[in-house]
A and B are shown apart, each in its own frame.
Chain A
Amino acid sequence: MIALGVVIFAPSLMAAAVLLLRKWSGLLAVAGAALSLVGSFTLLAAAISGTPFIATLPGLPGMPLLLEASQLTAVLSLMVSTVAIFVMIFAVGYMDKDPEKPRFFATMLMFVAAMQLLVLSADWITLLAAWEMIGVSSYLLIGFWHGRPKVAGSATRAFLYTRSADLGLYIGIFILIGISGTSQISTSLATTGTPAIVGGLLLLVAAMGKSAQVPLNDWLQRAMAGPTPVSALLHSATLVAAGAILLIRIAPMLPEQTLIVIGLVGGITSVVTGLIALGEKDLKRLLAASTSSQYGLMLLAIGAGAWVVALLHLIAHAAIKSGLFLGAGVFQHSRGSTLMSDIAGAGREHKKVFAGFALAALALAGIPPLVGFFSKDAIIAAAMSAPGAVWLLPLGLAATVLTGAYMARAVGQLWRGSGEEVKPNSENSNASSISPDMRWMGIGMAGPVFLAIVLGVTFVPLEEMLGKEPELSTLAMAFGLGAAVFGLLLGWFFKPKQLLGPLLGWAQNGFIIAGGMDNLVVRPAMAMARACNVVDQQLYNLALKIGNSMMSFARGTNIMDIGLYAAVLAFGNSMMSLGRVTRFSDEKGIDGAIFGFASITFATGKLARLLQSGLIHRELALSIIATGILAVGLIAAPMLF
């Protein structure tokens, strides 16, 4: 109970402290992440010893909020806090001179807290709440430099993409709660049959949005508008990870039909975004496309029925990708840009950072004994033995080749190329306002790289703990390693243009089909909005017209009245008020009509004139008198009976 509280609330309380104190924000953030880390270790220890932490909080009637640190969720929690602490340490240096530091660290802490809540949630409402909080935190962080052009657009796009996909989560959850009668995740996973297929597919949609899977992938590459530590965090252990984590957690429920769809979505994404990464002209955007590709591989593993393998790759990727992003952040500082052409050769100026970056790149490609080798090997093995192997295996291997190719290209560019230091442009670079404290940044980057080297040894015990027999397949190993080495060689010796040929331009465009989401969704939605607005104007006019027709009816009556001398006197008053109304409503035709109608029905023309004269007390007195008469009438009513 206490450890659960520490894991989630230590970052939130520190966020509050940062906002209140407005100083020491970096140190408080590191402290918050450290406390969370200690809590995560405690949770894992308890889960291994068989007495997991559980908490129940009041939620909706009949649906309490539940938290549970099972072995799986405790491992995930540990992953989140580990990445968080290194990113926070890095950010202390990176954000050193930024005047809005407190807001940055507070939001980062909130991000971490929301992610911890997500991984530890044991009921659907908590999970959904955390899921959306993560979306908001990333909106705020991507939009951190909100005064700059285009930043607001990137943040808005990220939020709307994931929120649209979240509808799948909402409806999927409603189905599972409705069928199983409980909001507890573990119990609801007993769902079978059609609800399980449909529910699983709906949750897949949500995961695709968060994990940036094709076709919901392009927001992630555009999300580079935020500070680099944000990218490091959201690509490795928070926002993007949420999608894969959701699928890992519901994997036991998923029937065959849903699994194959998940595998194909993942496989196709891993290849398509791998090609995009290969064609990228910007290092950070390359890393972003690579994130989509690696999460594609995780989905492929889940689709192959091996969710534990997906978890291994998730952990491996978390360490590797945070290291890569933090390294990219250093190069960005030295050159004031992340364009490949600008940072070319920057590795020779920062040899230690470059070594770390290169090690992480080799790890991602899947070279032994680095961590990526073990997880990628397991993915290939899983794909080989899966029912859909005929599709999954080629896709997985192609993605592995591509991974090697784009990482080799990035590393090659950093080492071999020659580029000039770019004059920091105050609009587009972060370097102008921030002078990095390299020591903090170095420690922050060294941590993940170290983990990327050694973490492989933990995988066998981890698999055993989660109840999966570690598989050793020499064939898979040969395939995986061969593909990785082949990819590295391709990337090192050939240019993207030679590799991609005619596909290059399309890949650099993000393989946009039919104008992408802007054309397919945003424009129709805006057109729909405008159409509804026109309808609404028409409805308003219709109301006025109804008034108008009543008005002409009344006018007709009045004309007859003129003929009928006797009636003239009787209707004289209404005529006069009509005249006044017409004069007063500046001959606006229809506009006047409603007033005319009103005057006849309620003699409001007179009132309106009173208002016009500004003598409010008179009209007020009128209303009071009217109310008074009403009241007297009502009180006197009993006497009539």
Chain B
Amino acid sequence: MIPVISIAVFLPLVGALLLMALPKSSSKFAHTVGIIASALTLLVTLVIWSRGIVPGGFAQVEEVTWIEAIGAAYRVGVDGISLPLVLLSALLFLLAFIYQAKSGDRARSFVILMLMLETASIGTFVALDALLFYVFFEVSLVSMYFMIAGWGGVERQKAALMFFLYTLLGSLPLLLAILGMFLASDPYTFDMRVWIDMPPLLGVGGMLALIAMLFTFAVKIPAFPVHTWLPAAHVQAPTVGSVILAGVMLKFGTYGLVRFALQMTPEAFADAGTVVLAVGVVGAIYGAFVALAQSDLKRMIAYTSVNHMGYVVIAVAIAAMATDPKMRSIALDGATLQMISHGLVTGALFFLVGMLKDRAHTREMDQFGGLLKVVPIMGWTYILMAFASLGLPGLAHFPAEFQIFLATLNVSPWAVISILAIVVVAALYLRSISAVFLGETNEKWSKMADLDRREIIVLVPLIVLTIAIGVAPSWLLNLINITTTSMGL
């Protein structure tokens, strides 16, 4: 068997190494390498998808011994939760490369960073060895730091540092938890599959490990109140940086919440479920309200991420607390689907806002008005994606949020109060549509150009998938469901 998962992980890195070896490459060459490498990676991930997964564990596992004495090895594999995230990452990276292709700003360095980030991202989702996971998790951080610091807005350095400090300090507790579980496992191993099958830490130890992991993932998700790095980072990050940050990297947090916190310390999580649930509920409502107060489009969308990721936190907490396996699988289906939907929809929204900023050099919504007449393609795409983001049926977020709220009401009814946020999110998106695209056209922008072919190519896959998941979610949910019904928590 060809080790396709490893190929998907390291193919982007090969592209990066190639560019490093050719210091004189032109912008065009660099972008070409980026697009080809990421397109091939996407193809390989489709092969992974076609090979399928199995219930009750990981499929297509590839394993190479590394440090035998401590049970650390190179282990990768996929299940119904990680595979959709891998596909999402590969797609978003390809689109990001296409979007970026017109930029001549230090293209070679940028592409190298992006390709390294892609390896780290896919690696994080497929790693089945805790050490390997941690390495990928940290490397992604470094790449994103440089992307913000090197290609960001006016206050990029402050934002980059904030990002770096928060997430680096934030990830130290995870390392402690990993070491704790390593020491408690017998024989010593870093094999995540072993830790999932037989949680090594129980009782107080389990609770401590859970707290440590929750801290790390809460920063990454980001959950209230440790989310403040996110808007700062988004506002300063370049467009593709925001797309990858929101679309892929936030999912490290929620993925970790499921893979580590829920699966490796299930008992402690069930005990602490209410606390986590409360964090999710507060984050969902709070994020929506703060987003409503924003006038900068990108900041607004960044805060809706706090809201949407809050729903994922709620869903995972509900899954931990549920006694009925049916409700648990509904909650986890919803959580996983919500991660994917958020990646597609928020990715598209960040692209759109970037496209608007490219033209107008501002993102303040009050500066616009009546743009739907001037740039109809951009306007209608924004309207579609805004409705997707506010959870309209027929579009990607609806099936996810429906399942999340359904499980929530039946496991912990009070938490369904978080559904109030969907009205707030609706209000803020309609407000942004009104302010930017409806009403009388602001003369200043009457010559604005509509989306060009490259931009449309970037958006079309996201639109198609958003509708496909919304109208017939079963093609994706059935995949996720294989794992969520057989996790045996």
Contacts and interface: CB of A to CB of B under 8 A. Distances in A.
Contacts of A560: none
Nearest to A145: B438
Interface residues of A, number: 75
Of B146, B289, B422, B474, the most chain A CB neighbours within 10 A belong to B289
Given A60-B402, A143-B438, A132 B474 contact: no
B373 A532 contact: no
A611 B477 contact: no
Given A147-B441, A533-B290, 18 more contacts: A61-B333, A133-B392, A136-B387, A136-B392, A160-B430, A175-B409, A532-B286, A535-B286, A536-B290, A591-B158, A595-B157, A595-B161, A598-B161, A620-B109, A623-B146, A630-B135, A638-B68, A641-B67
Given A60-B399, A536-B228, A604 B164 contact: yes
Nearest to B423: A164
A120 B480 CA distance: 30
Interface string A533-546: 10110011001000
Contacts of B158: 591, 594-595
B330 to A, nearest CB: 8
B403 interface: yes
Contacts of B373: 147
Given A611-B149, A638-B68, A129 B161 contact: no
29 contacts: A59-B474, A61-B481, A129-B394, A131-B393, A133-B393, A136-B392, A146-B437, A147-B438, A153-B434, A156-B430, A160-B427, A174-B405, A174-B410, A536-B290, A539-B228, A540-B232, A543-B162, A543-B228, A594-B162, A594-B165, A601-B165, A602-B168, A608-B149, A608-B157, A612-B157, A616-B109, A620-B109, A630-B135, A634-B135
Contact of B426 (A146, A160, A638): A160
Residue with the highest number of chain A CB atoms closer than 10 Å, among B157, B410, B424: B157
Given A174-B416, A529-B293, A132 B393 contact: yes
B28 interface: no
Interface string A139-155: 10001001111011101
A364 B437 CA distance: 40
Contacts of A62: 326, 330
A486 B330 CA distance: 58
Nearest to A521: B423
A177 B424 CA distance: 25
A619 interface: yes
B69 to A, nearest CB: 4
Contact of A147 (B405, B416, B439): B439
Contact of A627 (B66, B109, B142, B431): B142
Contact of A540 (B142, B228, B474): B228
B393 A60 contact: no
Contact of B398 (A129, A151, A594): A129
A602 B164 CA distance: 10
Interface string A419-440: 0000000000000000000000
A535 B424 CA distance: 18
A344 to B, nearest CB: 32
Nearest to B380: A103
Contacts, number: 187
Contacts of A530: 293
Interface in A492-551: 525-526, 528-533, 535-536, 539-540, 543, 547
A637 B68 CA distance: 10
B161 A594 contact: yes
A320 to B, nearest CB: 31
Contacts of B485: 61
B358 interface: no
A598 B169 CA distance: 11
Q: 5 tightest CB-CB pairs across the interface, nearest first?
A: A129-B393, A533-B293, A152-B438, A641-B69, A529-B292
Interface residues of B, number: 80
Contact of B439 (A58, A125, A146, A616): A146
Interface of A: 57-62, 125, 128-133, 136, 139, 143, 146-149, 151-153, 155-156, 159-160, 163-164, 167, 170-171, 174-175, 177-178, 525-526, 528-533, 535-536, 539-540, 543, 547, 591, 594-595, 597-598, 601-602, 604, 607-608, 611-612, 616-617, 619-620, 623-624, 626-627, 630, 634, 637-638, 641
Contacts of B150: 611, 616, 619
B424 A171 contact: no
B460 interface: no
A197 B309 CA distance: 33
A531 B286 CA distance: 10
B225 A539 contact: yes
